[in-house]
Structure 1
Amino acid sequence: MVPMPPAVTETIVEFPSGSTRSRATVLAVQPIGPDRVAVVTDRTCFHPVDPGWPDQGADRGVLVSDGVPWPVLDCVIGAEREGELFVGADVPVRRGAEGWTFVVVHLLAADREPPMVGAEVGLEVDETYRHALSAGHTACHLASLALNGALAGFWRKEVAVDGLGAPDFDRAAIVRSEIRPFGSEDVYRLGKSLRKSGFEAESAMLDLGAVQGAVNDTLRRWISGGGSVRVETEGPGFTARRTWVCELPEGTARILCGGTHLGDLGEYGEISVALDEAGQELRMTTTAVLAR
């Protein structure tokens, strides 16, 4: 009897726990353009980039088949239905759409025969690069919470609050976010719609130096005492909701997040931000330095 190939199932993701090594079974292999091949496995330690909100880029690393390492050129979101796999920006539905199976796709060079469906492979993430991105992502969340607190006095209407009880400027105004090794850049809108929501943008920008100082003071205070950081997940599958949780002096902060993070604020030696106004936007550049 010829064994049936394994069915494509939602990828079990192991990166939320900090894992950088996986043993996996290949569920699907599909050419992507003339020079790449997509490989889907039943589980993975690789964090993929989400084209819908590409704040944290893909992990780097290798897929090992029969003892031979294949560089993973990119790692993206995919969705499968009735045997057809859509990859990255070509996914036509939102994550979790009924009738679709959502997966993590590893993109390899199509310069040799790819591993076969059903093959057992190893997945190995570049730990140094992962750690740098995790440091940048955790610092980004801390900076956004500190910014919310520093801007709390510039609201004249009640708005949704963050996990620490401050008006959530980050949620109300964020335009884009880019996680970098040991830092991030976040851009916020300051236009009419935000003003109508009750934010006094002109006054805040006149006091931008003081706001920046307040943010940095808060960040110094937070990391000086340490504090545990973890990712809580509602299940092992890729589409399960994941939440960044951090213990701070003001309480437990929670932010929905699918990225990777450090395990404790004590790993930082310093986190600082620079704030710049450009037209109708505010840019926050966050830099993190690890403790030695």
Structure 2
Amino acid sequence: MTLPSVDTQVDYPAGLTRTTATVLHVEPQADGRVAVLLDATPVHPVDAGWPDQGPDRAVLRVAGAELTVLDCIVGATDGSALHRGRDIPVPKGTPGWAFVVVHLVEGAALVDGAALAEGQTVEVVVDADYRHRMSAGHTACHLAALALNRALADRWKKEVRADSLGHPDFDGTAIDVSLIRENGSVDTYRLGKSLRRKGFAAEGVAEHLAGIESAVNAALAEWVATGASVRIDRDGPLLTDRRYWVCELPAHSVRIPCGGTHVSSLDELGAVRVALSTSEVDGTTVLTMETVVG
């Protein structure tokens, strides 16, 4: 079976949770699952480069059967082999490579009258409630990062790149790990020597944590109360096309590169709060921000 030569068309940036697609490739995997490639999909996959948001929950409906999507990840092919996740040997956009959404289903399920074949039509259905909870968590994560940048703005001794609101981008500079979860997120930042050399005054952060947390939560309450609209702008419909989270705050339109899913309005969040904490990891102070929606 021929592997795709073009990137997958992705429908999740437009908020879609259901579509009809054509099967392009079906490939058994060493772990017993089967990789299914479609020409288009509404299923959000895990990105190997920045796996902050996990896969959607979804099913493939075909030939009267329903196949659960056990996992969904970004893959790539040069036409000779399919590579998944961290096994992809080239960066996105490399000429001669197609970047695809890999839907992994249980291999045994294909035996029960649902054998997938190239050219077959399938209905792809995403769990809309789960998507919404993850989208709320991702939107809140961006807002919290902007609020944290504002709260820490006076701690910079050198000029660094600014965020969309004009504040020094602490989040983009210090982020170590970001994990989006249902109605929330957890972000960790390393306050080490590298950050200090860039001009951040890390001394006293732990002692002033309560005040910083209060400032972040005040900003979040202010922004959420506006009910600002949220959208995803994109350069095109394909997996590798650049996408941006845009939030139309009253005083400023915020635009951040992002490949995840989001709510359409801050009204959908209800309330957003963060809790900040610090710990020592291998001699380096680590700041953790836990964000909760609702």
TM-score normalized with structure 2 length: 0.95
User: Does structure 1 conserve the Cα–Cα contact (< 8 Å) formed by 2:57 and 2:130?
Assistant: yes
Residue 166 of structure 1 aligns to a residue whose secondary structure is coil
Unaligned runs of 5+ in 1: none
* Correspondence for 2:289 among 265, 284, 290: 284
Output aligned runs, 1:88-237, within 5 Å.
88-111=85-108, 112-113=110-111, 114-237=115-238
Q: Is the alpha carbon distance of 1:85 and 1:153 closer, same or farther for their aligned partners in structure 2, counting shifts above 3 Å?
A: same
User: By how many angstroms is 1:5 displaced?
Assistant: 6.7
Please say if residues 8 and 28 of structure 1, whose CA atoms lie closer than 8 Å, have aligned partners that are also in contact: no
Matched, 1:14 2:11: yes
Contact residue 2 and residue 25 of structure 2 kept, 8 A: no
Matched, 1:271 2:247: no
SS, match of residue 204 in structure 2: helix
Cα distance between partner residues in 2 of 1:34 and 1:144: 38
- Separation in 2, partners of 1:46, 1:184: 20
Write the distance in 2 (CA, Å) between the matches of 1:5 and 1:204. 56
The corresponding residue for 1:61 is 58
SS of the equivalent of 1:133 reads helix
CA apart distance, 1:240: 0.1
**Residues 100-145 of structure 1: CA deviation (Å, up to 9, x unaligned):** 1000010000003431011010100001110000000000000000
1:50–1:76: 8 Å Cα contact kept in structure 2? yes
Residue pair 2:14, 2:232 contacting (<8 A) in 1 also: yes
Paired residue total: 286
Residue by residue over 1:187-222, the C-alpha shift from the partner in whole angstroms, topping out at 9 and shown as x without a partner, is 001001101111111133321110000000010011
Q: Write the deviation string for residues 203-261 of structure 1: whole angstroms up to 9, x where unpaired.
A: 33321110000000010011112100000000001000000000113301111000000
Q: Report the equivalent of 1:24.
A: 21
Gaps of 5+ in 2: none
**Kept in 1: contact 2:5–2:78 (CA 8 A):** no
1:65 partner letter: V
In the alignment, the residues of structure 2 paired with residue 260 and residue 167 of structure 1 have an alpha-carbon distance, to the nearest angstrom, of 25
SS of 1:202's partner is coil
Q: Hey, what does 1:36 align to over in structure 2?
A: 33
| Letter matched to residue 262 of structure 1 | V
Structure 1 residue 10: Cα displacement:
1.0
Instruction: State the superposition RMSD in angstroms.
Output: 1.3
CA contact (8 A) 2:57 2:69 kept: yes
**Whole-Å Cα distance in 2 between the matches of residues 156 and 94 of structure 1?**
35
Report SS of the residue matched to 1:149: helix
One-letter code aligned to 2:37: V
Kindly provide the CA deviation profile for residues 146-189 of structure 1, in whole angstroms up to 9, marking residues without a partner as x: 00000001111111000000000000000010000000000001
Alignment match of 1:85 (pick from 78, 82, 86): 82
Structure 1 residue 8: Cα displacement: 4.0
User: Using the alignment, how far apart are the partners of 1:188 and 1:6 within structure 2?
Assistant: 40
Identity %: 51
Q: Is 20-29 or 196-205 further displaced after alignment?
A: 196-205
What SS does the aligned partner of 2:148 have?
helix
Write the distance in 1 (CA, Å) between the matches of 2:86 and 2:197.
33
Aligned letter for 1:64? R
The alpha-carbon deviation at position 97 of structure 1 amounts to: 1.4
**For residues 164 and 264 of structure 1, what CA distance do their matches in structure 2 show?**
19
SS at the partner of 1:63?
Answer: strand
